[in-house]
Every structure is written in C-alpha cells, then in structure tokens.
Structure 1
Amino acid sequence: MSPIRREEIIGDCRLILGDCLEVLPLLGGGIDAVVTDPPYGLGKRMQGGTWGAKDEFSGFLQWDLEARQEWIDAILGLKVPTIIWGANYFDVPPARCWLLWNKINSVPTMADAEMAWTNFDKPAKRFDAPVGRVDFGHPTSKPLPLIQWCLSFVPSARLVLDPFFGSGTTAVACAKAGKAFVGTEINETYFDAACERIRKAYDQPDMFITPERPPDPKQEALL
C-alpha cells in the first residue's frame, strides 16, 4: 500500500496526505528549504488546557502528545536551509540564529513567545506579532505574516518543504511569494481545510507579486 493516501496539486503546491516519515524518502531531490512547525508534545499544557475542552478540536490532544525525534532527524538529514518551530522541545544541534516570535497579545495561560531553530549563520532575530484566531480549522496554526517573515530568510529557495503543513499556512506564504511548495499532512480533516484555503489563496493572488509576462512582439521587433 502506498504511503501517499491522497495527493492534490494546487498551483505550484503539491499537497500529500500521509505520514511524513514514510513520504519524505519518496520526494527525491530539489528541495531548497524547510519551514515547518511539528507537534511539540505539550498535550494538556497547550494554552492552559483550553483546547482539549473544545469539541471542534477533538483528537487534538492525542496527536499533540506525540513529538518524535525521528521527524527532526529526517528533516536535518536533508541538509538544506531549515526553520523548525518548537525545536527547543527536541534534540537539535547548537544554533546561532534562533528566531523568536514575540506574541504581543499573549494572555497569562499562553507562552509569551515561541522559538524556531535554524541552521543559519546569522544573529538571532525577533518578530513581533499577535496570536491569530483559529480561522482555518487548526488550533496551532501560525500567523501568515510570521511564516512570510520566515521565508524572507530563504530568498533564493524555489521549492519549500513543510512536512507538517496543518492548515496550509506555509503553502499560502509560498504562493504569495511566488515559490513552489511540497508538504505532507497526516490528518485528513486538516488536509481538506488546507486544500480549500490554498485554492482561495491562488484565486486571490498577491497584488505585490508580479507574474512573468510573455515577450512583447513590438519590443522584439525593435531589437
């Protein structure tokens, strides 16, 4: 049985439903960067335990209790520019450039900040942004501006991987930046929600991204 349970191609995004550890060996080369946010294993400690009480997030605690070092080892084995949110909960190499998300509207039951490990030889950096609402069916979705900021650290990356794409935030950020994306998600409910969100993102292209245009025949005639 194939580890790829479903696959959707939306614009320049390749979305795969399946276990990342089983799917990653099938992706081959060409990946230029990783930007990802795996489960941290916090379970009931997440948001003071409030998520587990909500019916729409049933099953959330079950997957969030799992935090496997194998995930991180597989990602690091790709040896590409990498950003891993929540890497302070895993065994990662020493890093010079940790990224800090300062949650400017955090409440006492939430963390004031979150950290991402990188393999960049740069000073540590901070991004000030509020915690977003749960608009896309995933309780731990990162704000889109935060992930767009992450992509600014890999400007030359053409194909970005997220092995835990959840509600599709990294894919949407890539679409808006004119980058290709490939990712895996193991939960079918989140997968479906991400597909819908990414389709909408392509239906409303970023006004600041200038698409390539075919040559003007009149200009060519002047050459």
Structure 2
Amino acid sequence: MAKIDIIECRDMLPALSDIPDGMVGMLLTDPPYSSGGMFRGDRSGATSEKYQTNDAAKKPEFYGDSRDERSFVLWSVLWMGECYRAMADGASAVVFSDWRQLASVTDAIQAAGFVFRGIIPWRKTAARPQPNSFRNECEYAVWATKGAIDRTPVAGAKYLPGAYKFAAPSGEGRIHSTQKPLDLIKALMEIADEGAIVLDPFMGSGTTAVAAIETGRHFIGYELSPEYCALANERVARAKSAGGGGLNG
C-alpha cells in the first residue's frame, strides 16, 4: 500500500488484505450491527426505516445490516482477523455495538486474536423515554488490544475515561443514519499515538477520518456505499482545507 489518508469505495474484506502487516496503529470502527429488531423481518428492513424516524430527512441506505446472530459473529471474526494482522503489537481496537450484539462483538474480537480489555459506554444526551422501561440511552465501544500493553505509571502515560457522554449528531450535521459524534471519536482516538494510522473498514460518512485529521493522525478507510464514500471524501477535503492536523494525504 503506497498511500495513507485514503477512503476507498471497496468491499472491506478484500481491501484489508492490501494493508501490510503491522502498519495500523488503531482500529476504530462502527460496523453495521444487524440489529434493528427482534425478528428476521425487522433485521432485513431498510436501514432508513430501522434507524430513522424523521421521514423528511431520510439518509442513503447502507449495506450488510441483515445478518442473523451466528453469521454476524462469523463475519466479524473474518474482518477482525484481517485487521489484527494489519495492526502493530499493542495497538488498540475499538469497535462499536448496540446492546443486542454486545456479546457477539466481545466473542468475535477474542476469536480474532485480540485481548478483550473492556466496554466503554457512550451515553446519549437525548434518548427517548419509554413507558415502564429503563431508558435505552447507551451504545457501547468494545475495547481490545493486539497483545500486551504497557501499564507502567510513568510520565506521559495516558489516563482516559471509562465512559463518555455526547449528544448524537442531529439536523444538518447528521449525514449518516447511525453517525457517531465527532467529539466522541476524537476522544476514543486518544488511545492511539499521534501520527498513528487509524483504520476504519466501515467509514460511513467519514467521521473517523475527520477525527484523525483534527488530532494529528492518519487514516485508512473503506466504504461499500458509493453515496457515503463520496460524502466522506467531501468531509475529508473540507477538514484538510481547514488546516486540521496538517497531514499529507
């Protein structure tokens, strides 16, 4: 791979095989959860129906969101295993999940070879209340590493929170139907060294790439949807023209 700072419109599984061993300094991604309901008919619905309630602002569809639980785990092990190979020793993997697939993601990330380190909740600030129910106001980032990490309490060691609270993107700032807040992604990215390459096989609207630019890191991303790939590259171009990070891509 000759370039970094790229988002390509490709199927991520064959694309990941192009990344040299040990090149990546962090995996930070939000794969399709294949949730959206309890039954097959719910999972196979359009993503614009499953994850959006505002008919006036429907977002483009995204792909790969209709697997059942077992196929979701097997598929996750495949792509996580390729990411593991491409990552440097000690590098962190942070993979988002909802509550339905949380156990599946923690199983898959360990089956792929990673050391499971914990779960980082993202608490949304405007989750809808539900009668006679606990509010469903969190999504979760599963944290794992490629092998051991140095936990020596020396000068310069990073002490990061174990949970985060940010509002979900809304209005004109919400490009993708499952988009994560830019500030959340930037906060999670602090676990990686400055200048590291951050890999996102499910780039969506490009939030991971913009966070990398604004925090002095590089990025490699893949996105199967041509519409979202174009939108992501537009966001990257705007972020670079604004001077974020000053990286060459």
TM-score > 0.5, shorter chain as reference: yes
CA distance in 1, matches of 2:193, 2:125: 26
AA aligned to 2:34 is: G
1:140 pairs, out of 149, 173, 178, with: 178
Structure-1 residue corresponding to 2:238: 200
**1:106–1:131: 8 Å Cα contact kept in structure 2?**
no
* Compared CA separation, residues 97 and 143, structure 1 to 2 (3 A): same
1:74 matches 2:79? yes
CA distance in 2, matches of 1:41, 1:50: 11
Structure-1 residue corresponding to 2:58: 56
SS at match of 1:182: strand
After superposition, give the CA deviation of every residue in 1:136-164 in whole Å (9 maximum; x if it has no partner).
Answer: 53100100000001101113561110000
AA aligned to 2:30 is: D
1:116 matches 2:141? yes
CA distance in 1, matches of 2:60, 2:218: 32
SS at match of 2:210: helix
**1:98–1:124: 8 Å Cα contact kept in structure 2?**
no
CA distance in 1, matches of 2:30, 2:77: 11
Q: Percent identity?
A: 24
CA distance in 2, matches of 1:21, 1:27: 11
With a CA cutoff of 8 Å and minimum separation of 6, indicate the structure with the bigger relative contact order: 2
For residue 41 of structure 1, report the CA deviation from its aligned partner: 0.5
**2:195–2:216: 8 Å Cα contact kept in structure 1?**
no
SS at match of 1:140: coil
CA distance in 1, matches of 2:125, 2:95: 21
SS at match of 1:193: helix
Task: Please tell me whether Structure 1 or Structure 2 has the larger radius of gyration of its CA atoms.
Answer: 1
CA distance in 2, matches of 1:133, 1:34: 25
AA aligned to 1:108 is: P
AA aligned to 1:64 is: D
Structure-2 residue corresponding to 1:19: 11
Q: What's the TM-score once normalised by structure 2's chain length?
A: 0.68
Q: What's the TM-score once normalised by structure 1's chain length?
A: 0.75
Q: Which runs of 5+ in 2 are unaligned?
A: 152-159
1:104 pairs, out of 119, 122, 125, with: 125
* Compared CA separation, residues 131 and 84, structure 1 to 2 (3 A): same
After superposition, give the CA deviation of every residue in 1:174-193 in whole Å (9 maximum; x if it has no partner).
Answer: 00111110010000000011
AA aligned to 2:9 is: L
SS at match of 1:119: strand
For residue 119 of structure 1, report the CA deviation from its aligned partner: 1.2
After superposition, give the CA deviation of every residue in 1:18-39 in whole Å (9 maximum; x if it has no partner).
Answer: 1111111112231121000000
